[in-house]
Structure 1
């Protein structure tokens, strides 16, 4: 990865770098002062490209960045940072968005764990409603937008109590009849990543991938510990503890809804974010599907051997390469 820009560097004749505030496989995120709008600070996300990419693939990737940046710039939702600009400098592309002050939810859950306490369920449910509203907005765009990297560190709580989903690093646009995947590709964060996304095969991800990550995030927030990663769950479908066994203060309703969202197979999860939020908040009397009440996943439990379970799930998702990806890490 190229070195980051030094403090004071001016990008695009407008954005003066203050400091690095984030880093990932794509590049750096900077806090920058907007020299055209006095007193405004923004987050500038840098996208660097693999220099070994074939020229035609590099050209395609950069064109895709432009298309997706245009889509993101049209978004307007109170729980999403506003994308205000994008530009290119030599071999790097940049996305400019609102800087969101406040602690991320990973910091808040870590503070609670250090004191031996848990975050209150009602407070977490208030955050969940806000996150769900943002995700529903993204999923209802045309084409739909799937975030693909929901996790506590990508959710910030502002001083006025608003939660914002701050990172668009792995966004995927679901264009009808074609697969359009952002150049900011990746597998997401393994702890919160669903089975179909684990091998980096974005072909099979849709809005239900966000529902899994959303459920995994709530699991972490309410138990002070991340859930069992999907690789281990793939090998042992019963390895994920019911969150109530960790924090008995969690209501049965919320625990069941979280486990429903975290079903290994996408078809076993809520069909959309609205359905998940209704299950979380008790706004629906619909029973949870497929045996996920009390945290007992049954969809594949009757298949006899470990090898049969692996093949059944991978084959039903349509990509046996996932099986090889998981097994080579054993």
Structure 2
């Protein structure tokens, strides 16, 4: 294959005559990339899809050979993006200007050579057509005509005045017209190329009249008009005129460094487009209709207008749409976006094949973004941006990968299922890019109340002073920044929500939180379902009964399908509890591949990486979770551990300060900040005097001991502050009267701690500690 000559494209010209990467025709000498774009792409009307021979698939396309109109030949200068009416979407597409619709009319409408094929499905060589607009096939003699059947100025059924052709598709020419009965409103007439396509267009007409959705082009009428050349009466669908650009043109402009948005094309833009496409597909699938030919050419980006204040995506060209399960109609597909021939032969076109085309479309659009190409920004800035959003981009690629999985059973269950994960990915990328949290409740996992902080957010227990290393003074003890144990992680990660159709779901919704009691309840209920088995796994781990957990997992394997992500999740929990973190990480990675938009798998992977001594992998996971949702306190404590491991005390405290007051972990974060400020770090670094002053100030505002000004918790934290100050004294001062003031405080602290225990041995140890710090006297 020939390499594509377009700047920045590494693709090749495939058998269709177009690049397999940028989706554009070869770049001819002396022509601009935009100038070689098709009129079908630069126009705005629905481009038709051609009918395949009976029982055979063929590629439909809207790539006329005429040059694009001036408005699409070169993108406008990038100006500030305008955003209107966000509606229900927190990530609205920027508005953009679009030229006069009549500027899209083709001055010299011609069908490209690659679209010129004989209509006779039994023709031995359907490409043997003479180089003229009409005539007879040189192979079989079948007549053909590629001339527009309507001319500018024609009036159809005394109502629609034709402006001219703006695109050509497999089913014929597409014309811009004005509706004389509705204030000359622009509309589109889409005609047939020959009578054999009537069945396809009849279904398209039915589908369009039954499908009322803001992301699907609307149909207004069905009309007839004699052909200007033959006098034969032809039929036309009157459709909504969709101003704007096909996504193929948007992508092509972005690859060349332009943007209609006045800002670079980003992954978030692609996802927003994808979500609207998926909304349209879900609408079709709910009515047992398959779209079949999804690709950037068939998706219009329509700018905002007076009737709709949002920039919006519109699916056009339902010429390939078909009832689900229909195996008799010719398939109208584009091969490089569709599933394999083997899958079509075995299963036909299905919801799973529509999901595949959605994944392929998003994947190709992403390759045009500035995030992928590096256009619009200096190289170093692009590299920094890529590092910042790397986890989110990987999540997006996983969405595309699952949608395009070779096994249809491993793809998303449908468009709505794919959209749920894509929304999470969009929030993740946007939050990583600008640092603003964008939380959204998960429909898959329930929030966990467990804080995986390894005790850093808690007031230290008395054992810190009574069971410390022998011969090490309390002021010399390092801050304990250890990671949560694998078992603590396994029992503290978010819990999958029960599938509502499982018979055990009702029992689990009202079950006790006591793990041992839950095991008894499940046994008494006699439920033998996947959810009951998974619940036994979790309850067994929480109750310290690994045998019960293993038995639950063994039963789950027999009840859940091999591609059920819940099975992989619980396999990971069991491996993690057994401290086999490498195996656990593999299972959690499988869950992330199935649920790329969820937080829980990323948190699990972060904790596994910490135990595998891979902080370089753990920190990005924790950061991705924390940037997106600051209610997940376990993530910020993971980040704090990473900062403290490299001696970044200030960075750790700054992260703890990000925990919002409404979080259930806010108090733990404030306690942890005091401990970090006074603690001796793993590298031996002591706090500065300024650190200790700040810790003392923070301590006065902490809500401790039920709000009492004095109490056990406050005494312990005050003891830490005094110990840290004593540890800063030079040895000579610590042993002389210069340290007496701190010695008095510490003596009082340790005696107060002694009063907090009823254990004689611990009390004696604390009194001894107080006596050792008592200032020397001569009385």
> With structure 1 as the length reference, what TM-score do the two structures score?
0.68
Q: Summarize the alignment of residues 163-178 of structure 1 with structure 2, pairs less than 5 Å apart.
A: 163-174=313-324
Q: Which residue in the other structure is 2:272 paired with? A: 126
Alpha-carbon deviations, 1:125-177, whole Å to 9, x = none?
21122111111011111xx11111111121111212111112212111226xx
Q: Which residue in the other structure is 1:222 paired with? A: 366
Give SS of 2:161's match: strand
Change (3 A) 1:48 1:203: farther
Alpha-carbon deviations, 1:246-296, whole Å to 9, x = none?
x9686221111101111234333212111111222335568599979779x
On the 8 A contact 2:172/2:193 being kept in 1, the answer is yes
Match for residue 207 of structure 1 among 342, 351, 354: 351
Q: Summarize the alignment of residues 1-330 of structure 1 with structure 2, pairs less than 5 Å apart.
A: 1-4=145-148, 5-49=150-194, 58=196, 62=198, 65-66=201-202, 68-89=204-225, 90=232, 92-115=234-257, 119-141=265-287, 144-160=288-304, 161-174=311-324, 179=327, 181=329, 185-186=331-332, 188-196=333-341, 204-224=348-368, 251-282=393-424, 284=444, 287=565
Give SS of 2:318's match: coil
Change (3 A) 1:41 1:116: closer
On the 8 A contact 2:203/2:321 being kept in 1, the answer is no
Q: Which has the higher helix share?
A: 2
Q: CA separation in 2, counterparts of 1:126 and 1:84?
A: 28
Change (3 A) 1:49 1:79: same
Q: CA separation in 2, counterparts of 1:215 and 1:49?
A: 33
Once the 2 structures are TM-superposed, how far is the Cα of residue 102 of structure 1 from its aligned partner?
A: 1.1
Q: CA separation in 2, counterparts of 1:127 and 1:146?
A: 19
Higher normalized contact order (CA 8 Å, seq sep 6+, divided by chain length): 1
Q: Which has the higher strand share?
A: 1
Structure of greater Rg: 2
Q: CA separation in 1, counterparts of 2:352 and 2:265?
A: 26
On the 8 A contact 1:197/1:205 being kept in 2, the answer is no
Q: CA separation in 1, counterparts of 2:192 and 2:350?
A: 23
Alpha-carbon deviations, 1:45-77, whole Å to 9, x = none?
111226xxxxxxx5xx63664354133212211
Q: CA separation in 2, counterparts of 1:44 and 1:266?
A: 37
On the 8 A contact 1:34/1:42 being kept in 2, the answer is yes
Q: CA separation in 2, counterparts of 1:41 and 1:126?
A: 27
Q: CA RMSD in A?
A: 3.4
Q: Which runs of 5+ in 2 are unaligned?
A: 1-144, 226-231, 305-310, 370-385, 425-441, 446-495, 497-564, 569-588, 595-779
Give SS of 2:151's match: coil
Q: Which runs of 5+ in 1 are unaligned?
A: 51-57, 226-243, 296-330
| Count of residue pairs the alignment pairs up | 259
Alpha-carbon deviations, 1:159-202, whole Å to 9, x = none?
12111112212111226xx5463x7x53x222212225998x79
Q: CA separation in 2, counterparts of 1:260 and 1:88?
A: 45
Q: CA separation in 1, counterparts of 2:403 and 2:182?
A: 43
On the 8 A contact 2:294/2:361 being kept in 1, the answer is yes
Alpha-carbon deviations, 1:80-136, whole Å to 9, x = none?
111111134445332111000112211111121112997312222211221111110
